[in-house]
Amino acid sequence: MGEVIDRLISIIIAAVILLVIALLHVAYLTYAERKIIARMQQRLGPNRVGPRGLLQPIADMLKLLTKEDLIPYGVDKPIFYIAPFISLVCAGTGVALIPLWEKFVLSNINVGILFILALSSLSAYGVILSGWASNSRYAFLGGLRASAQVISYEIAMSLALLSVVLMAGSLNLVDIVNAQINSPYKIYLIPQIIAFYVFIISAIAECNRVPFDLPEAETELVAGYFVEYSAMRFAIFYLAEYFGMVVMSALAVTCFLGGWVGPFKVPYVPFFWFLIKLYFLLFVYIWVRATLPRYRYDQLMGLGWKVLIPVGIINLFLTAFLKLIF
């Protein structure tokens, strides 16, 4: 009995540590985004709160905590209340499945990839329910667009990951990284560069980021599906969006860039290489946002259905064929 409680406590401590690390990453991702985009546009970015504006995310959090929590007229109350939590849980739970290091993965389940894909599908519910419940036309249109976009790019993303599963022969994320280390290429980016390309584009679309940010296009829909939310409920949607970016980048690192392996071993910091790769991919997200204009809606759907899905299927069968020959 005492042994069980000991294990339970150690698991809870591990989960809390992981959550705190993930939250720090999410908070400082917002800071990094503002700072990097500011630099790319020849501005300074946040520089008032703390040295170089480093305390900005904390100040934002405190400010949002003391704002008024508005519930507008005519909202569908139960749905309006639960939608942000659906978004947050679906976007954030993936963190527990990512192997940061061979011996540090909170939940090493056999169907890791499938579970992350399921969670990213479910996050469409948070979007569409908040859009429907808000009783605002902007929110409604944003929710519709977002759900159509998320399901379209879901297929391309699953096809890209399918090629990785085919090469590794497992759905377990630790096994996939080990299969990459044991393969002649060391990382799957080299044989699966097309799948990586499809995956990154779909991941940007899944997270509703520029250039695919039509659901929340500021210039036409003000904020899209969460326009009626204020204070902390609004912040939870933001948190979910950035959690989604972190999880998608971590999944790309695990499936294509070889997870925790690097050219040489760094003493005492076993997940050094994982974090370096993760930060690089997050930087790419921000870089794309600072560089590209927004897509038109028909271009967006056309890219998903007419380019990425055929490319994904061809790449999958090419992979299978080559694997059979060699």
Partner 1 sequence: MGSYFNLFLFALLLLVLGVALVILNILLGPRRPYSEKLIPYECGLDPSGDARIPFRVRFYLIAVIFLVFDVEIIFLYPWAVIFEDLSWFGFIEIGIFVIMLLIAYIYAWSEGALQWE
* Window 36-75: residues binding partner 1 (CB under 8 A): 64-74
Nearer to partner 1, 21 or 44 (CB): 21
C-alpha distance from residue 81 to each of 47, 89, 133, 235 (Å): 35, 14, 9, 13
Taking CB under 8 A as the criterion, the residue among 27, 32, 36, 114 binding partner 1 is 114
Taking CB under 8 A as the criterion, the residue among 36, 49, 79, 106 binding partner 1 is 106
Q: Is 14 helix (H, G, I), strand (E, B) or coil?
A: helix
Look up residue 119 and give its two tokens: 């969670």
The answer to whether 234 and 64 have CB atoms below 8 angstroms apart is yes
Q: For residue 154, state whether it binds partner 1 (rule: CB under 8 A).
A: yes
Q: For residue 166, state whether it binds partner 1 (rule: CB under 8 A).
A: yes
Nearer to partner 1, 8 or 276 (CB): 8
The answer to whether 244 and 179 have CB atoms below 8 angstroms apart is no
Q: Is 300 helix (H, G, I), strand (E, B) or coil?
A: helix
Look up residue 72 and give its two tokens: 């507008």
Contact region with partner 1 (CB under 8 A), list: 26-34, 90-98, 212-220, 246-254: 90-98
Look up residue 52 and give its two tokens: 């170089």
Q: For residue 78, state whether it binds partner 1 (rule: CB under 8 A).
A: no
Angle in degrees, CA 50, 56, 60, rounded to 5: 135
DSSP-assigned letter for residue 261: -
* Window 226-285: residues binding partner 1 (CB under 8 A): 227-228, 231-233, 235-236
CB of 267 to partner 1, least distance (A): 28
Count of residues that bind partner 1 according to CB under 8 A: 82
CB of 181 to partner 1, least distance (A): 18
CB of 53 to partner 1, least distance (A): 23
Q: For residue 17, state whether it binds partner 1 (rule: CB under 8 A).
A: no
Taking CB under 8 A as the criterion, the residue among 27, 144, 194, 288 binding partner 1 is 144
Helices (H) and strands (E) in the chain, counts: 12, 0
The Cα diameter of the chain in Å comes to 64
DSSP, residue by residue, 123-143 = HHHHHHHHHHHT--HHHHHHH
Q: For residue 301, state whether it binds partner 1 (rule: CB under 8 A).
A: yes
Q: For residue 27, state whether it binds partner 1 (rule: CB under 8 A).
A: no
Taking CB under 8 A as the criterion, the residue among 39, 78, 85, 262 binding partner 1 is 85
Taking CB under 8 A as the criterion, the residue among 26, 29, 83, 88 binding partner 1 is 88
